[in-house]
Amino acid sequence: MMDDQVESSQVETVESKELDTESTANKSMASGLSGDTSCTASTPNISSYFNQAVEDDPFGSIVTESTKERSTSAPAHPAPALPSVGESQEQSSIFNNELSNQNPPSVHDVSETVSDVSPAETNRMFDAWIPTETTRRFLVQALATGGKFHLPPDKVLKPRLAMADTQADPVYQETFKLRGEVESQKKQTLNLNNVEQNMSGLQQLIKAECWRSALDLTVILLTNMNQGLQPVGNSMESVISESSMKVWAVRVSLLTKLRMYSIAEAECQQFSHMDSPELHFEFHHQLYPGRNGSMVPFSLRLLYACLPQFLGRHNESLDRLFYIREQVTKILHNLQSGGCEDGGATVISEASRTASLSLWRQRELQVLYTLASGLTDMREFRLATKMYEEILVKDADNACFTYSTLARVCLLMGALKCAEKYFKLSTDACKDEELKAGLALLHSGYLNVCSGNYGQAPALFAKAATHPLLTTLAKNNAAASMLYSEQVKTATLF
């Protein structure tokens, strides 16, 4: 399936003559700086987990909010971002470092359309998912037997922690080592002893960005749900619930944030590719009467799809992402054909349909941006370019940033003329005059770096940094470009 989909996407977007005539030196200039590479989903904005206007998908912004301060793809009002957590697999430039952290801007304010929809309809559209045929048959049997149905033993989920070690505070340890106990005690941060050991405490730790303490608290919460390292009493007492899945979702996000990719994937794999019957509300219809869909937050699916990429298995990650895209496409088709999300006979109101279409179009863009980011990280530039061109059609409001991204992909290929063309399209598409001026300076800086004019680039980046949206990005690039001309001390001032 993967080969067919990738092959069908392979459309030439840059003239081969142009690529052949561009100097190979341009490629080396665009790939000379080291940096981390990561998938879009790698940088979850966990603090917004507890601040969702709609509680049905509290993970909606965890994965999609990426390192916007380092990417010109940021929307007009970016949310607080976290540092990148991508593990570097190879040398990368300032350009592909930004591209691999590419994230979708906020396409639509879904909360505006959801406000006109009842809570039950909101649950339906956020929880919607199309199960595999095997899972669907199990769900039909569970509903038909009135709660007396039991899965075969090999199908029963028994999620357990793969690691429960207490996470030490590295800042405290280094301060204690270098400055002594007195200085180290001055660092006052939240920990497990300062918060309640419940979801409210987890919220406090996440808001304070105490990631390791928050990870420790997830161990306690899951152990209390009999999903810790070892079962307590009868292992069948451990029941998958909406609450437990929320904790697992936060935990996997924290593990990814802390670069514990192997552990994150091991714990995710216990959930049978996120398609087990136990992960659907219909299977627990006595606990959740009348509720349908999946307990797995959509953004957790996206994060699970990206995990293999952090471990060097890029093709496996693409397979998972293309599967998610296929499912999202089916859901959109069902909605546009007059049905409900899963293709069932449920009758939904026009307001609900409009809100659901808005939500799932946004989710489609999340998948497309993640695919484009992954392809860029794999250095499959032609396919990445094709993906971004598809994004241009579906997300025309952010064409300014997408064109800029396409230009940087061209720089990575060594195609300066192609990059210039896309940079011009980017500034032409920008409606904000101040932002347009900042982007023009930023783009000029990029072109100077790739042309070998290292002395001129820092000044251009410094001027671009005056725009609030571009400050961090421009300063990072100014410092990086100074390294080419051996101005190491000056670069550290940025």
Q: Fill in the amino acid letter for 59.
A: F
Spatial CA neighbour of 476 closest among 71, 38, 150: 71
pLDDT of residue 29: 39
In a domain, 31, yes or no: no
In a domain, 45, yes or no: no
Which residues have CB under 8 Å from 173's CB, separation 6+? none
186: domain range? 158-259
Between the alpha carbon of residue 240 and those of residues 120, 271, 280, the distances in Å are 21, 10, 9
Share of the chain above pLDDT 70, in %: 73
pLDDT at 47 over 70: no
Average of per-residue pLDDT across 475-484:
87
Q: pLDDT tens, 113-170?
A: 666 788 899 999 999 999 999 999 999 999 888 777 889 988 899 899 998 888 877 7
Number of structural domains in the chain: 1
Distance from C-alpha of 237 to C-alpha of 239, rounded to nearest angstrom: 6
Share of the chain above pLDDT 90, in %: 52
In a domain, 199, yes or no: yes
Contact by Cβ (8 Å): 386, 9: yes
Contact by Cβ (8 Å): 305, 297: no
In a domain, 265, yes or no: no
pLDDT at 276 over 90: yes
**What radius of gyration, in Å, describes the C-alpha atoms of the chain?**
24
Which string of DSSP letters, residue by residue, matches 78-120? Answer: PPP-----PPP-S---HHHHHHHT--------HHHHHTTS-HH
Distance from C-alpha of 332 to C-alpha of 345, rounded to nearest angstrom: 15
Q: Where do we find the tokens 């991508």? A: 86
Q: pLDDT tens, 320-365?
A: 999 999 999 999 999 999 999 999 888 899 999 999 999 999 999 9
pLDDT of residue 112: 55
Higher-pLDDT residue of 177 and 445 is 445
> Which structure tokens are listed for 270?
């216990």
pTM of the prediction?
0.77
Return contacts of 65-68, CB within 8 angstroms, 24+ apart.
65/103, 66/40, 66/41, 66/42, 66/101, 66/102, 66/103, 67/43, 67/101, 67/103, 68/103
Question: What letter does residue 435 receive in the DSSP assignment?
Answer: H
Distance from C-alpha of 453 to C-alpha of 354, rounded to nearest angstrom: 51
Higher-pLDDT residue of 277 and 106 is 277
pLDDT of residue 345: 82
Contact by Cβ (8 Å): 113, 358: yes
Average of per-residue pLDDT across 66-91:
31
Higher-pLDDT residue of 7 and 331 is 331
pLDDT at 234 over 70: no
Collapsing DSSP states into helix, strand and coil, what is residue 258? coil
In a domain, 115, yes or no: no
Beta bridge partners of 280: 294
Helix axes 457-464, 471-484, angle to 10 degrees: 170
pLDDT at 251 over 90: yes
pLDDT of residue 147: 72
pLDDT of residue 114: 64
In a domain, 215, yes or no: yes
Distance from C-alpha of 416 to C-alpha of 1, rounded to nearest angstrom: 35
In a domain, 190, yes or no: yes
Reported as a pLDDT band with limits 50, 70 and 90, residue 232 is low
Average of per-residue pLDDT across 298-326:
95
Reported as a pLDDT band with limits 50, 70 and 90, residue 244 is very high
Beta bridge partners of 294: 280
The phi, psi pair for 402, rounded to 5°, reads: -70, -40
Least confident of 117-121, 313-317, 389-393: 117-121
In a domain, 188, yes or no: yes
